[in-house]
Amino acid sequence: MDFRLTEEHEALRTSVRDLAREVVAPVIADHYEQHTFPYDVIRQMGKMGLFGLPFPEEHGGMGGDYFALCLALEELARIDSSVAITLEAAVSLGAMPIFRFGTDEQRARWLPRLLNGTALAAFGLTEPGFGSDAGGTQTRAVLDESTDEWVINGSKAFITNSGTDITDLVTVAAVTGTRADGSKELSTIIVPTGTPGFTVAPSYSKVGWTASDTHELTFDDCRVPAGNLLGERGRGFAQFLRILDEGRIAIAALAVGLAQGCVDESVRYAKERHAFGRPIGANQAIQFKIADMELRVHTARLAYYDAAARMLAGEPFKRQAAIAKLHASTIAVDNARDATQIHGGYGFMNEFPVARFWRDAKILEIGEGTSEVQRMIIARELGL
């Protein structure tokens, strides 16, 4: 058993760390404050190959693995979560379904731009009335045999990367029929940006991740060619479960990055800030708080490394991914709260990174499966 990184993974981590410090850190506070999407940063991340990390070179990817993506997410989130979630949603939710389930033609058409970061894809599962209970999907797609087109009606809520200037498509989970046992037949359909009948609502006003892009989407007699079906008809449920299982490891990595950023900022501040004639870090109460934060980061990192290793080995990893996501998001919230406390009043000021970490941490316990859903998965895996 060896938890040390390979030379390639270590080199990637170092170069993403440099990018986060030199390219993201100087501009992100302004984007966060103004709620603007950081196109320049995304362009530079694309040039570095981050959007193609876990994909084979034959499709325009970097030939790396899913663990490489996780390391990049961790290093980005250590500085900022808006850019990290933009990458996570673009790769593990956006491009991955097309890579995993698409036809050769779909891959050839969409992947080159998605993998070099000049375009983004979004993943449309959640609806205004159904999130955790994704089987409740109401959006319908009916095949019009006279024109050989899907006609889509319904809406999707909270969809990341769906309304940027460089968004090429959204994959939409829709009910395409009823099975013999009366249950819904779910399928996934690619809807290109700009298709008539597909409307992107203005950005939500969010508490955190304010430099990321999130919209409600509406489909009103939206027609796309029958060939835009992703993979087999009726495989939608299995497809999004696979994508979400993997995505949980990526979100865990992102949460570990945020939690690590809280440690970095707290150590720095505890040395600089003086109270009662000495640095606050000279107090054991502060030292122990930071030691506990570091302990949480370390254990959460091991949990996602383990889940990723199992996934890459082709072993079952559902339980480990749920554990990693649940633990990492919980400790990210804990570390953000403690880092803010260590910063005192400055921790409540938006100009300090820990204020951003605090606002960005909470969603980690909600997105890509809430903490309750992770517990449901773990319990089910234990046979309950």
Separation CA 312–CA 138 (nearest Å): 34
Query: Which residue is associated with the tokens 């449901």?
Result: 376
Among residues 55, 74, 367, 374, the one that binds ligand FAD under rule CB under 6 A? 367
CB of 264 vs ligand FAD, minimal distance in Å: 24
Question: What whole-number distance in Å separates Cα of residue 65 and Cα of residue 84?
Answer: 17
Minimum CB distance to ligand FAD smaller for 126 or for 139: 126
What does the per-residue mask of binding to ligand FAD show for 118-137, with x meaning CB under 6 A? ----xxxxx----xxx----
Nearer to ligand FAD, 306 or 368 (CB): 368
In the region spanning residues 304 to 323, those forming contacts with ligand FAD, defined by CB under 6 A, are none
Q: Which stretch binds ligand FAD (CB under 6 A): 105-113, 152-160, 267-275, 321-329?
A: 152-160
The reply on whether position 115 binds ligand FAD by CB under 6 A is no
Q: Least CB distance from residue 45 to ligand FAD, whole Å?
A: 18
> CA-to-CA distance for 25 and 188, rounded, in angstroms?
37
Chain-centre distance for alpha carbon 176: 27
Closest approach of ligand FAD to the CB of residue 33, in Å: 18
Catalytic residue numbers, as ranges? 368
Please report, to the nearest 10 degrees, the dihedral formed by the alpha carbons of residues 335, 80, 100, 151 taken in order. Answer: 110
> DSSP labels for 193-211?
TT-TTEEEPPPP--SS-TT
Identify which of 368, 50, 373 has the alpha carbon closest to the alpha carbon of residue 209. 368
* Residue with smaller CB distance to ligand FAD, 89 or 354: 89
Write out the binding residues for ligand FAD, residues 240-259 only, by CB under 6 A.
Answer: none
Q: Which of 214, 260, 329, 340 binds ligand FAD (CB under 6 A)?
A: 214
Q: Please give the Cα distance from 247 to 187 (Å, whole number).
A: 19
Phi/psi region, residue 214 (left: phi>0; alpha: psi -120 to 50; beta: rest), is: beta
* Contacting positions for ligand FAD (CB under 6 A): 89, 93, 122-126, 131-133, 158-160, 206, 209, 214, 363, 366-370, 372-373
